[in-house]
Structure 1
Amino acid sequence: MSASVGRGLLIAAAAVIIAAIAMAVVKMGGPGAQRQMRLDERRVQDLSRIDQELRSYFDAHKALPPDLARLAAQPGLSLAISDPDTTAPYAYQPGQDGHFRLCARFATDTAQGPTQMRDPTPWLGTQWRHPAGDHCYELDASAAKP
C-alpha cells in the first residue's frame, strides 16, 4: 500500500508542477512574446536616451538638430538611432521652440500599464508607455525633464 501511496503522491506532485509551468507560460507569454517585450524595452531605452541627448543639444545650441544622424554624429557620442530588430531609423520630427516628436514601432502594448503585461520600464515611469504598432511621443527639449 505504501508503494501505491508514494506513486500517487509523485503523480500528484508532477501534475502540480506541470500546471504551474503551464500557468507561467500563459501569464508571461512564450519565448516569442518575451523576445518582443525585450525588444520594446530596448526601443524605449533608445528613445529615452535620444530624448536626453536632444535636451542636451538644445541646451547647448538653443535649437534642435535637423535629424538624428546629426545628433548621433557629435564627437564622443554613441547613440542608437535605429530599431534594434528591423534596423529602420527611429522617426524624429523637430518642431518649434524645442518641441519634437520621437516615433517607433512597438510589438507590445504597455499603454494599459502593468495589468496588460508586466511594465517593461518601471524606472522610466508612465511617460514611455505605448500601444502596439506605430507610436509617437510629443516631447519638449526646452522643458525640465519630468
Structure 2
Amino acid sequence: MTHSIFDRTFAALATVAVAAAAVAGFWILGTPGQQRLIMSDRQRLEDLSAIANTLYWKKQDQDDYVLPETLDPEDQREDPITQELYRYTKLDDSQYQLCANFATDSSTHKIANTNPKNWQHPQGSYCFELDVNQAAPSLY
C-alpha cells in the first residue's frame, strides 16, 4: 500500500517536472515555428552580408569602381521564403541601402542575441545603410 502511494506521487511529480521543462523550453527557445522564422531571418542577413561583401571587394579590385544604380544579376539574391529580390538603393557614390522583410524582431529573441549590433532589425521591412568603402559587418 505504501509503495502504491509513493509510486503515484513520484509519477505525478515526474509528469509535472516534464511539463514544466517543456513549457520553459518553448518560452526560452520559442516554438519550432518561431525558430524557423528566426532561421529564415538569419538567412536573409547572410544574403545581405554577401551582397555587401561583393560590392566591397569589387571596390577593392577596381580603383575606378562606382556603385551601380542597380545590382548586376549575378550579385542579386532572393529572399529564402518569398523568392523576391532584396532591395538595393544607391544613396551616393559610396553609400547604399540593402533592404529585406524580416519575420521577427531580432531584439526579442530570448536566447543570447546572435545578431551583432550592426545587424539588428525590427520585424517587417528594414533597410541597412552601408558604405562600399567598408567591409560589411561580420555576422559572427
TM-score, normalised with respect to structure 2: 0.84
Give the structure 1 partner of residue 23 of structure 2: 22
- Identify the match of residue 107 of structure 1 among 95, 98, 103: 103
Q: Are the structure 2 counterparts of residues 53 and 21 from structure 1 closer, same or farther at C-alpha, using a change threshold of 3 Å?
A: same
Per the alignment, in what secondary structure is the counterpart of residue 35 of structure 1? helix
RMSD: 1.8
Q: CA deviation at 1:65?
A: 2.8
Letter matched to residue 66 of structure 1: E
Tell me the distance in 2 between the aligned counterparts of 1:144 and 1:24.
37
Q: Are the structure 2 counterparts of residues 49 and 32 from structure 1 closer, same or farther at C-alpha, using a change threshold of 3 Å?
A: same
CA contact (8 A) 1:104 1:136 kept: yes
Tell me the distance in 1 between the aligned counterparts of 2:41 and 2:4.
51
Give the structure 2 partner of residue 81 of structure 1: 77
Q: CA deviation at 1:31?
A: 1.8
Per the alignment, in what secondary structure is the counterpart of residue 101 of structure 1? strand
- Identify the match of residue 123 of structure 2 among 123, 132, 135: 132
Q: Deviations over 1:30-68 (max 9, x none)?
A: 121111101000001111111111111222332123323
CA contact (8 A) 1:47 1:102 kept: yes
Gaps of 5+ in 2: none
Q: CA deviation at 1:90?
A: 0.2
Identical-residue share of aligned pairs (%)? 32
Give the structure 2 partner of residue 63 of structure 1: 66
Give the structure 1 partner of residue 88 of structure 2: 92
Whether 2:39 is the aligned partner of 1:38: answer: yes
Give 4+ residue runs of structure 1 displaced > 3 Å after superposition: 143-146
Q: Are the structure 2 counterparts of residues 144 and 86 from structure 1 closer, same or farther at C-alpha, using a change threshold of 3 Å?
A: closer
Per the alignment, in what secondary structure is the counterpart of residue 139 of structure 1? strand
CA contact (8 A) 2:38 2:103 kept: yes
Q: Deviations over 1:89-135 (max 9, x none)?
A: 1000123221100000001111x3xxx213243xxx21111000000
Gaps of 5+ in 1: 74-78
Q: CA deviation at 1:144?
A: 5.4
Q: CA deviation at 1:23?
A: 2.0
